[in-house]
């Protein structure tokens, strides 16, 4: 399982990626500013099922914080085109308001 999330704001753009390595029951998290390699953190779990469950909970928590799911490599540069950034910010704001 691999998921990629983005957070866009006027000050900075961040990414957060989670990947579950089934063979070693490891969760690999990469996070940082868009356009950088980011910081990698690994967490070992007792079983495959536990690793998947924890990864889903972590991904859900990121969505609650305002991150939205995207595709890896979708945004390669730090600065986004102005119209794209505005549309993504308004879409994210709409979703957050819809949850309240």
- Cα–Cα distance, 53 to 36 (Å, whole number): 28
Which of 8-12, 16-20, 77-81 is modeled with the greatest confidence? 16-20
For the chain, how far is it from start to end, CA to CA, in angstroms? 29
Rounded to two decimals, the pTM is: 0.69
Contact of 11 with 3, CB cutoff 8 Å: no
| Residue 9 or residue 50, greater confidence | 50
| pLDDT tens column, 36-92 | 888 999 999 999 999 999 999 999 999 999 898 877 655 554 455 666 666 666 655
SS (H, E, C) the chain: CEEEEEEECCCCEEEEEEEEEHHHCEEEEEEEECCCCCEEEEEECCCHHHHHHHHHHHHHHHHHCCCEEECCCCCCCCCCCHHHHHHHHHHHHHHHHHHC
What is the structure's pLDDT at 9?
81
Q: Residue 96 — very low, low, confident or very high, per pLDDT cuts 50/70/90?
A: very low
């Amino acid at each position: 399982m691999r998921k990629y999330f983005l957070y866009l704001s006027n000050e900075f753009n961040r990414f957060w990626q989670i990947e579950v390595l089934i063979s070693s029951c490891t969760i690999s998290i990469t996070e940082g500013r868009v356009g950088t390699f980011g910081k990698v953190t690994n967490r070992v779990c007792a079983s495959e099922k536990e690793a998947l469950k924890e990864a889903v909970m972590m991904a859900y928590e990121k969505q609650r914080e305002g991150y939205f799911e995207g595709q890896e490599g979708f945004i390669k540069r730090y600065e986004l085109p102005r119209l794209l950034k505005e549309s993504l910010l308004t879409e994210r704001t709409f979703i957050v308001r819809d949850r309240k």
